[in-house]
Amino acid sequence: MSGGKPPVRLLVVDDEPALLRLLEMYLGRLGYEVTACLTAEEALERVGSTAVEYSLVIVDLNLPGIPGLELVRRLREKAPGLPVLLCSGYGAGLSMLPPELRERAAVLQKPFLPAMLAERVGQLLSQV
């Protein structure tokens, strides 16, 4: 983003390489600084081993290894209050989240249009 503000950093986690690349490119075009991870383990390593603070994390609920919900739980332990956008193709809603994870969280159903993603990201970031 411009105007001397620090960049808005997004962490995107999805195990589908083609979709991850598309998300990274699209969000980058919107002016966000994007870190893309194919696994939950990689995302946890990024959050735990760097001084970079993320403004928002976008997580696929159906990840191999560590499931999306568990990833969110662990990320929130490291960065309480981190806004989270959960993506799912299985009709998930916020009610499936434990109450302690619902604050500053949203769900976006796959497949989604780029404009839908941009709107949801903007909504979550405006809650800061």
Which of 124, 67, 74, 70 shows the shortest CA–CA distance to 90? 67
End-to-end CA distance of the chain: 16
Please, are residues 35 and 10 in contact by the beta-carbon 8 Å criterion? yes
- For 87-102, the pLDDT digits (tens) are 987 766 667 778 888 8
4, part of any domain: no
Specify the pLDDT at position 92: 64
Q: What is the CATH number of the domain that holds 82?
A: 3.40.50.2300
Count of Cβ atoms closer than 10 Å to residue 12 Cβ: 23
Residue 25: give the domain boundaries: 9-126
Residue 75 domain flag: yes
How far is it, in rounded angstroms, from Cα 4 to Cα 97? 36
| Its pTM surpasses 0.85 | yes
Q: How many domains does the chain have?
A: 1
- pLDDT at residue 114 greater than cutoff 50: yes
Is residue 3 in a domain? Answer: no
Whether 1 is covered by a domain: the verdict is no
